[in-house]
Amino acid sequence: MLVYCYLFSGSDRSAVVQKPIIFASKGFVVFNYDKRGTGKSEGNWKSATIEELASDDINGILFMSKTNQIPLS
């Protein structure tokens, strides 16, 4: 599984959709999501700490591995 994290302030995932599409077309499972407070996500990315944003990534990976039976190793 490829987790695609981006750091563009205030942008949703539509700003970086090309590379995840390329990886998906090559057979990779791609996890590309709106970070906290962008797109349809709740919260506020401006007030979130780096630890909170990293926790969002980890929780997304764990969720995807459980719901889609994607092994983490």
One digit per residue, the tens of pLDDT, for the chain of length 73 reads 677 666 655 565 666 778 888 888 988 888 877 778 777 778 887 888 889 888 988 888 888 777 766 665 5
CA distance 28 to 19: 11
Domain that holds residue 15: 2-67
Instruction: Give the predicted TM-score (pTM) of the model.
Output: 0.62
For residue 29, being part of any structural domain is answered with yes
Phi-psi category of 69—alpha, beta or left, where left has phi over 0 and alpha has psi -120 to 50? Answer: left
50: tokens are 């780096």
For residue 72, being part of any structural domain is answered with no
18: tokens are 């090309």
- Looking at residue 44, its pLDDT comes to 82
Query: Based on the structure, what is the number of domains in the chain?
Result: 1
For residue 43, being part of any structural domain is answered with yes
For residue 7, being part of any structural domain is answered with yes
For residue 11, being part of any structural domain is answered with yes
> Mind listing the pLDDT tens digit for each residue in 13-33?
666 778 888 888 988 888 877
**Torsion of Cα atoms, 36 then 39 then 41 then 45, to 10°:** 20
User: Contact at 8 Å (CB) between 30 and 63?
Assistant: no
